[in-house]
Structure 1
Amino acid sequence: MLDDGRLQCGLCPRECKLHPGQHGACLVRGRVGDQLVLHAYGRASGLCVDPIEKKPLYHFHPGSDVLSFGTVGCNLACKFCQNWGLSKAKDLSRMVASATPQAVALAAQHAGCRSVAFTYNEPVIFAEYAMDVADACHALGIATVAVTAGYIQPPAREEFFARIDAANVDLKSFREDFYYRLTGAHLQPVLDTLRYLRHHTSVWLEITTLLIPGYNDSPAEVTELCRWIAGELGTDVPLHWSAFHPNHRLRDIAPTPRDTLERCHDIALSQGLSFVYQGNVRGGRGHTTHCPRCDAELLVREGFAVVRNAVAADGTCPHCGQKLPGRFL
């Protein structure tokens, strides 16, 4: 509670300050009396069984199924949002009436899923709900995955990711100006989250960058981004380049050319990254996981399907014995 009577939310760097009856920028957290209430708790915008590769996670239980679900709202305001129908939804009726944490965990178990993913919209904004779902999942031996922009305050970050087994973090750009103008957020908290996950948790980490022509795909920026990952996080963190498609408020921008994906792929390799992928395009490079030592094909994919898995049971390359980073079945 602030001196002027407003109530400040401590979940994300926006630090929304609310009068009674107001909701935060995320749309789903609001002030009721002198409390902050998560109006999306226990309600989901959809439940779907997906391949884990669709998140994308290529080194976490590859070839397994994941139960994906989310709510509505977001604490970023990305002009290029590929899922803006949910992230900008103000009508809570878009969600099902009831999806208790136990019900979500049981649905995953009945579907034979190895994990549950908090996805579709930003899971940070429904952190309390996600954490309770995670506890219910772990009680049944089911892992949890966060697909997130990583825009969260340190105290909440520690509590949230303590319940997460794997995360794919969107590193949307390596420029503060991009974050401010196109997402309404800031770069540094995202970098802090990435460092925290890599160096202070056991969460398996992968990164995705959506390449938007003319905005974040210059060779200079891509080189800086890859160099930062290699130096600050390590060369074995998988990086997924994703192709932009015109959407939301950037409908006048052309889709990402294949040449751009290939160029960025080469830059990432030149900066020492061992695992570089092209996540949402078919054909070409960027779908097969190679051994970083002997270059043997260990995980061959067609689309989101793993068509050949040659990783040994102990997670090593059967040809040279090199340990492959990740979590394997």
Structure 2
Amino acid sequence: MQTDPAKDVEGRSGASPGVPADAPSTAEHLEVVPRRSAWRFLPPLIVILIALQILESIVFNPRFEWALVGSYLFSPVILSGLAMTLGLTVLCMVTGVVLGVVLAVMLRSNLWIVSGFAKIYIWFFRGTPILVQLIFWYNLAALFPDLSVGIPFGPRFFGIDTNVLVTPFVAAFLGLSLNEGAYMAEIVRAGISSVDSGQEEAARSIGMTHLRAMLRIVLPQAMPFIIPPTGNETIGMLKMTSLVSVIALSDLLYSAQAIYSRNFQVIPLLLVCCCWYLFMTSVLTVIQGRIERHYSRGRHGGGPVGGGH
């Protein structure tokens, strides 16, 4: 018995007689409609009820003394502490970023003494608490009564009293910026590692030095990977400045403490600090988002990475 080859092919392909092989199946045109549960409104309702309960317990609780909070919100003492907090945050972050870039480049050095120094630096400052570092720098005079510059085991050129040099502001700056440099070094190192090594090799092949290739080729491409964690570090630094109150530096928290140590209005003054910290972190979050969108354009075909507007 002979079989028709055409029918045999149709049977193997699964196509029905008289239906083109490339015709779309009925299943492709079916719209999938999820089943609507009768309990779908329950989770949002629970969340709304909890939120309203929390809102009522905070806003309408007379013990919070919101009127007193508003009266201290723009107090000259509070605004002075706010300025100190902002200035310290900017100064320490700029120093920490620069130091982090230098350390990240040192980590990639072929000289073991250079990379080893960077590794020891990062190990020490990431391994000790920031509060301990701040207190250490504040009490540096206990170890070194005077600081001098000279030749090791030789003559000294000049010296200065440590208590005069290391003020509370200097101690806060050293503690926060040196600690931040260690964390930024790891962030920058991870960003550099995300760039294909062939980029640097191509730059070296056209005569660029290692430093120039790093600044002109590698770092701009690593920025989309460096910016997000750097923004988080900036927000963290803003809140971390509250630790300098332990060394009597008049930041936002210390200014509030100075007021409530006289009038005993602890909760309202702490709420003033919370309001200002929430406002500043919200502004920094918006700025971080805009910067991230700017540097992510190159990865989505919207323009070169690091290009101008």
Higher RCO, 1 or 2 (CA under 8 Å, sep at least 6)?
2
- Length-normalised TM-score, structure 1: 0.20
Greater share of strand: 1
> Looking at CA atoms only, which structure, 1 or 2, has the larger radius of gyration?
2
Greater share of helix: 2
- Length-normalised TM-score, structure 2: 0.21
